[in-house]
Chains A and B, each alone.
Chain A
Amino acid sequence: MPTGHLRPPGNRPTARCHARPACDTVGRVIEVDQLTKRYGGVMAVNGLTFTVRPGHVTGFLGPNGAGKSTTMRMILGLNRPTSGSATIDGRPFARHRAGLRHAGALLDAGDVHGGRSATAHLSALARGNGLPRRRVSEVLEEVGLEGVARRRVGGFSLGMRQRLGIAAALLGDAPVLLFDEPVNGLDPEGVRWVRGLFRRLAGEGRTVLVSSHLMSEMEHTADRLIVIGRGELIADETVAEFAARGTGAGVTVRTPDPAELAAVLTPAGGHIRQDDGGALTVTGLSAARIGELAYERRILLYELAPRAASLEQAFMELTADRAEHRSAVPGGDPR
């Protein structure tokens, strides 16, 4: 060991949570190992294995019905896995006494009793975890609900309920946070706020897992992605790596002489595709390299534009691939 004092990169004490016990142990991970859940004949989650690490916002993606919520519920000990295990900080979550201090979660904004006020709802949760009363007003202020704290939750809009759910997740100042489709029902200002919140929580060294079926949402929020389809793992990598899998990435090139350019670029390792509008999409070479090669051969270029990969496209391609693969297996389709 080169140094005597090693700390995970995200594990830095911050001003926000000094002197709170849970923060001493920031750096906890969520580990899912061969997790499987079967409902009757349907495999909701099938042999899922992944690790969610601190210091990042990890997007948990999949089409509707992919098994995201079921997985999150199993991580939190609400649903019992058919086989496999899920742990938070090396222990099944159900073994923790004060859950809010280990993990905060927003699973469904509707998981409240409409007859209680926001304050009463949060007060009961805080009290059950031995948290001080001031945490209630702190988190209400944080999510912007202090003005309606005494109103019954039954009268809240979906966006307000999402904020209340986020407030509950933040109560215990937990090092691990799970949010299931938190953006639903939020207005544009709320969406921007919640993105900033997730980034800040990850920046504080927490483990943040956010599920969504909207890839475009994750593009702006997540650093890493765990993508599942039909209960199985499709990808577990950084957003950039994932995007690179899609065919959307590449360099758009316009030239009056496509054939000659292709003859130059292909031996250099480029893959060329003709687009509908007459432009070429080149993958495998950087825009700078394409420019150099064209210059050397004096090929005229009208346009040379690197194009960022679209996550959406990568996502669609991968999940479509998965679906085809699944239905190609005789009798392999559980439905």
Chain B
Amino acid sequence: MTSARFRDLLAAEWIKLWSLRSTRWLFGLGVLAIIAFAVQNSLDARNGWPDFTPMERTRFNSLNEVFSGLSATMLMIGAGTVGALTIVGEYATGLIRTTLTAVPARHRVVAAKLTVVGTVMLATGALISAATFGVSQAILSGCGVAVSLSDPAVWRVLAANALLAPVSGLVGMGIGALLRHTAAAVVTVCAVLVIVPTFLQPTVYQWLNDLYALVPFYVWRTCLGLPQLRDDPALPTVAGSWAVFALWPLAAAVLTLLVVRRRDV
């Protein structure tokens, strides 16, 4: 008797993700909007280039222009919301009872969902990171400010940009599993991922800086997303920032597994 393999569970979650119109719209419009921002910012820079002061020209870095804080905000909220909805959508509708009756091994269902959402988010993040970089390079190539891929810092920024989506998506799933209520989950995702971290600024208190250095959006804004790092003990380190990018989704995945396993549905 052929029992259900993990591959089948992945396929099932894949079907569930893409058979919702909302997912397709969110992914489609989100990717297009962020690329459109990159195009607009790059065109603005190219058109304004002749009027830039020498100071402005020196400080200009196309990586900052093409994928701004606003793009990151949109990406994190979008990915976090989709992630949360993949879980909340099951609980709020009652579908979870049908799902877990069909596949009673809850950890396998959750693991499949985490894998599918995480992978789709990673692919989407990579697409956005590469596409925004590509179009800006093409647009700004005439100005002589195109950045070189031989610079390791460029790869760091591109990787960090690409990882924002899977990090946010998995954190969204954890929040969704915990709250199981659509509106509450979406508001919490926005607050935790973007709104609260937006107000965090380096301070004179090192313990506060150390605390801030545990927040994904903050470490992206002040470290991983910057082409040129400042050597400042108040700012997060690169290694620490990568650890934050790894630990948040990991913690969210473990939380999702535990919560779904323990609770009655």
Of A99, A124, A165, which one neighbours B15 at CB under 8 angstroms? A124
User: B16 within 8 Å of A by Cβ?
Assistant: yes
Please count the residue pairs between chain A and chain B whose beta carbons lie under 8 angstroms apart in the complex.
Answer: 120
A172–B265 CA distance with the chains assembled, in angstroms: 22
Instruction: Establish whether residues A93 and B97, one from each chain, have CB atoms under 8 Å apart when the complex forms.
Output: no
Which residues of chain B from 74 to 128 have a CB within 8 Å of any chain A CB? 89-90, 93-106, 108-109
| Chain B residue nearest to A97 in the complex (CB) | B3
- Binary per-residue interface labels of chain A (94-131) against chain B in the complex, 1 for a CB within 8 Å, 0 otherwise: 11111111010101101111111100110111011110
Instruction: Establish whether residues A128 and B98, one from each chain, have CB atoms under 8 Å apart when the complex forms.
Output: no
A129–B99 CA distance with the chains assembled, in angstroms: 11
Instruction: Establish whether residues B21 and A115, one from each chain, have CB atoms under 8 Å apart when the complex forms.
Output: yes
| Chain A residue nearest to B98 in the complex (CB) | A111
Q: How far is the CB of A18 from chain B (nearest CB, A)?
A: 15
Question: Beyond A97-B4, A130-B8, is A76–B93 a contact (Cβ under 8 Å)?
Answer: no
User: B183 within 8 Å of A by Cβ?
Assistant: no
- Binary per-residue interface labels of chain B (182-194) against chain A in the complex, 1 for a CB within 8 Å, 0 otherwise: 0000000000000
User: B22 within 8 Å of A by Cβ?
Assistant: yes
Of B1, B15, B89, B99, which one neighbours A123 at CB under 8 angstroms? B15
A76–B13 CA distance with the chains assembled, in angstroms: 21
User: B149 within 8 Å of A by Cβ?
Assistant: no
Instruction: Establish whether residues A78 and B100, one from each chain, have CB atoms under 8 Å apart when the complex forms.
Output: yes
Q: In the complex, which residues of chain A have a beta carbon less than 8 angstroms from the beta carbon of B5?
A: 130
- Binary per-residue interface labels of chain A (252-272) against chain B in the complex, 1 for a CB within 8 Å, 0 otherwise: 000000000000000000000
Which residues of chain A from 269 to 328 have a CB within 8 Å of any chain B CB? none
User: A151 within 8 Å of B by Cβ?
Assistant: no
25 A–B contacts, CB within 8 A, in A order: A21-B1, A73-B264, A76-B100, A98-B103, A111-B95, A111-B96, A112-B93, A113-B93, A115-B20, A116-B16, A116-B19, A117-B19, A120-B16, A123-B19, A124-B13, A124-B16, A127-B8, A128-B8, A128-B99, A128-B102, A128-B109, A129-B4, A165-B98, A168-B98, A171-B102
Instruction: Establish whether residues A111 and B94, one from each chain, have CB atoms under 8 Å apart when the complex forms.
Output: yes
A185–B100 CA distance with the chains assembled, in angstroms: 24
